Amino acid sequence: YLAIVLSSRGDAQLEGRSIETLLSLNIAGAIVAPLGVHSDMQLMRSLRARIPMVFLDSSLDDDTPFVGTNNFQSVPLITEYLCRSGEPPTYFDMPPVNRNGPERKLAYVKTMERLGLKPEIIAVTSQNDWRFEDIAFEEARRVLRGSGFPTRTVLCANDRCAVGVMAAVYQHGLRIGREPGCDIRIAGHDDQPHSRYGCPPLTTVAQDFDQLAQSSVVILLDRVEREDGDERAPEQVRLEGKLVMRASA
């Protein structure tokens, strides 16, 4: 098989054109990491009707095979660690661009309630906006100029939000980290490549990127190669995250 890679770059129009390009080609199947709320569902359904398809990272429906991270395992994992090792975390939300945001917030709330602790949430814009760093930076600045964060630990919905929060905290003159003398701890989710190079390096939950890719390809090729008319329930694979402890929390 020859792989064709197209990127939406967070733009709904680019995603739509990418799907139209795929529809115009004689391809065997597609692995799609959908933009989310602003994805063109009619185009997605047209693509799925033509070829086998697998959603990666975020799903748009329950009728298409899906491979992603189990937010109800990964978020409790880091929430419990932060509670054990210091003040309980305040949750810093992300824009509702896809299912991951609401799932992660709900997983945090349920974990805090199970531990007998009060959930604290910093909300951000309700608009569909992928400028996570900018949004988190501005919201964190607003919080710090006011009464500050409810606790001295902040769990961000993803690493990109954490980058914005860390920048705002640094400009506010606070020291980030888990060592004595630090003012605040900050953690994220995803373990994006740049997270280990932050100042300080970011504590986070690592998604198993290799296994996410492998599982997606295995499911897709299985559907491509099976005989016509062999209908099965769509696989829904959710992989566990791994706690990565670094200097930020």
pLDDT in tens, the chain (249 residues): 889 998 888 788 888 899 999 889 989 999 999 887 678 888 888 888 899 999 999 988 888 999 999 999 999 999 999 999 999 999 999 998 889 999 999 999 999 999 999 999 999 988 878 899 999 999 999 999 999 999 999 999 999 999 999 999 999 999 999 999 999 999 999 999 999 999 999 999 999 999 999 999 999 999 998 855 556 778 999 999 999 999 999
Contact 234, 66 (CB under 8 A): yes
In sequence order, the 6+-apart residues with CB closer than 8 A to the CB of 222 are none
SS3 of 147-186: the string is CCCCCCEEEECCHHHHHHHHHHHHHCCCCECCCCCCCEEE
DSSP H helical ranges for 35-127: 41-50, 71-85, 100-114
What kind and span of H or E run contains 68? strand 66-69
Return the closest-CA partner of residue 68 out of 204, 194, 188, 211.
211
What is this structure's pTM? Answer: 0.91
Residue 248, class by beta-carbon neighbours within 10 Å (0-12 exposed, 13-18 middle, 19+ buried)?
A: buried
Q: What gap in Å lies between CA 207 and CA 1, rounded to an integer?
A: 26
* Angle, CA of 109, 104 and 143, to the nearest 5°: 70
Return the closest-CA partner of residue 234 out of 242, 247, 222.
222
Paired with 156 in beta bridges are 92
DSSP characters over 235-249: PEEEEPPEEE--TT-
Residue with tokens 């989710």: 189
Q: What gap in Å lies between CA 43 and CA 47, rounded to an integer?
A: 6
What are the φ and ψ backbone dihedral angles of 175, each rounded to 5 degrees?
A: -95, 125
